[in-house]
Amino acid sequence: MSELRTRDVVDADLPAVLAIRGRSFGPLGSGGEAWWQRVSAETLGGRMIAVVDDSDTVLAAGRIRPYEQAWGGRHLRMGGVAGVYVEPSARGRGVATTLTRALITRMGELGDVVSCLFPTTATLYRRSGYEIGGVQTRTTYAAHLLRELGASGPGRGRSTGLRPARPGDAQWMHDLDREANARHGVSGPMVRSVSALAGMLERDELIAYVTDGGFVVYDLSDQTVTVEDLVATTPEDAAVLWGVVGSGSSAAPTVHTFLDPRDPVTLVLGGLPAAEVQQVPWMGRVIDLAAAFGERGFAPHTTATVDLLVDDPEAPANSGSWTLSVSGGRGTATRTADLPVRGDAGPRLGAAITSNEAGGGDGDSAGERGSEAALRVGARREGALRVGARGLSALWCGWSVSHLRQARLAADGTADGDAALDAVFACQPFITEYF
């Protein structure tokens, strides 16, 4: 078998990469050429990697799209893995795994501290430390209910400066989106860059309106409105924007939304969402634990200190013994040993913990858990929870330690430590944009 290696994709490789894409997923559809040119320009020069054989023939390629992603309301650099194409005749030779691991290494070099992707197969990405983080949810509403909200809601009769969005609004829309994520303390959503927003508005790809304190971005096709983003700082702005979305209810009676599943429109609408809800899972991964933890937002009333033992061969910066501390909405991750302590702790952690390692905590007292607004736990280092890359990624995305134990992704630890980790990482992450 030819020796595999990885390198950056250069402009001359693009026809070969596009040919592999066609053999893997079929030809580009309408508008595909323009899309291909945009994503190629975005990722050439360090964010598109190829796997080649000893004759330098391209066998696979993948892109790392540069995003900002909210975690606890604060925005982290996120590498969005997309466009992973493998030549069908080269499958089964470890090409895809070689590519995925090279993408992880490159993200670390670029300063991306977390990563997300929409998987075509979970097994491939789990081998490289990704785990299910959440879903992109499509909720369906009757357009006339939204129209009525605009006509009778709190925005009725008030001037909100409603007008079509212009490319010059891109910076303001970007800032408003970031402020909304921080205000609501959400985890998962990505913020479009200013240049991406400006380009979208210049090309008239989507319909967009702004008010004095909000904006909406949506698509209209096949008698259906699809809302991709709606941000409002006041109930009045929200009512006006939703009213615009539903204003064409006679021609477009159905509205799909890709927003927070708990968007407050559900609380004020004069009816229920349709029973039809579609969800697309996405996977997440921690690329740099120390940087990501330090940049993430946390519940301001949670105070905790807990030890964690991580084994992550694909991202060695994560491997080691860590003390995680949270107070006042900020966190620090301090490495206390460069490598996981093995010895009696068992073998190297791989894709999952073996069944005899997946027991519960040691039964220590829960201390102040549940009795104080602030949770103060000091887990003994020798009793630290042990996780591999998948367990760390799932923990980051809000999976409870008890569920990680049941999935054999965590071992050892204490009851107090489990409670602390659950409090620290508590979130319901969601993504609104498919990439």
Tell which of 77, 108, 129 closes a domain.
Answer: 129
Contact 426, 299 (CB under 8 A): yes
Whether 197 and 299 map to the same domain: the answer is no
In a domain? residue 408:
yes
Contact 392, 347 (CB under 8 A): no
Whether 261 and 324 map to the same domain: the answer is no
Q: What is the DSSP letter of 408?
A: T
Whether 79 and 176 map to the same domain: the answer is no
Token reading at 176: 């408003």
Q: Of 213, 86, 219, 71, nearest to 133 (Cα)?
A: 71
As beta bridge partners, residue 67 has 78
Residue-range definition of the domain harbouring residue 73: 5-129
pLDDT digits (tens), the chain, 435 positions: 579 999 999 999 999 999 999 999 998 988 888 889 989 999 999 999 999 999 999 999 999 999 999 999 999 999 999 999 999 999 999 999 999 999 999 999 999 999 999 999 999 999 999 999 999 999 999 999 999 987 766 655 555 899 999 999 999 999 999 999 999 999 999 999 999 999 999 988 899 999 999 999 999 999 999 999 999 999 999 999 999 999 999 999 999 999 999 999 999 998 888 877 899 999 999 999 999 999 999 999 999 999 999 999 999 999 999 999 999 999 999 999 876 444 333 344 544 443 333 334 433 333 333 333 333 333 345 689 999 999 999 999 999 999 999 999 999 999 999 999 999 999 999 999 999
In a domain? residue 433:
no
pLDDT of res. 31: 81
* Cα angle: 248, vertex 249, 251; to 5 degrees: 70
pLDDT of res. 368: 34
Whether 234 and 350 map to the same domain: the answer is no
Q: Return the CATH number at 244.
A: 3.40.630.30
b/e burial code for range 105-130 (CB count within 10 A of at least 16 → b): bbbbeeebbbbbbebeeeebbbbbbb
Whole-number Å distance between alpha carbons of 164 and 97: 46
Whether 59 and 86 map to the same domain: the answer is yes
pLDDT of res. 1: 54
| Model-wide pTM > 0.85 | yes
Whole-number Å distance between alpha carbons of 171 and 195: 8
In a domain? residue 256:
yes
Tell which of 100, 129, 158 closes a domain.
Answer: 129
Tell which of 103, 129, 155 closes a domain.
Answer: 129
Contact 388, 358 (CB under 8 A): no
In a domain? residue 404:
yes
| Domain count along the chain | 3
Whether 295 and 263 map to the same domain: the answer is no
Token reading at 239: 């009512």
Whether 84 and 196 map to the same domain: the answer is no
In a domain? residue 247:
yes
pLDDT of res. 363: 36
Q: Return the CATH number at 294.
A: 3.30.1050.10
Whether 108 and 207 map to the same domain: the answer is no
In a domain? residue 393:
yes
Instruction: For residue 340, give the amino acid letter.
Output: P
Whether 29 and 65 map to the same domain: the answer is yes
Token reading at 264: 């407050």
Whole-number Å distance between alpha carbons of 243 and 241: 5
Whether 118 and 172 map to the same domain: the answer is no
In a domain? residue 434:
no
Whether 198 and 88 map to the same domain: the answer is no
Whether 68 and 119 map to the same domain: the answer is yes
In a domain? residue 293:
yes
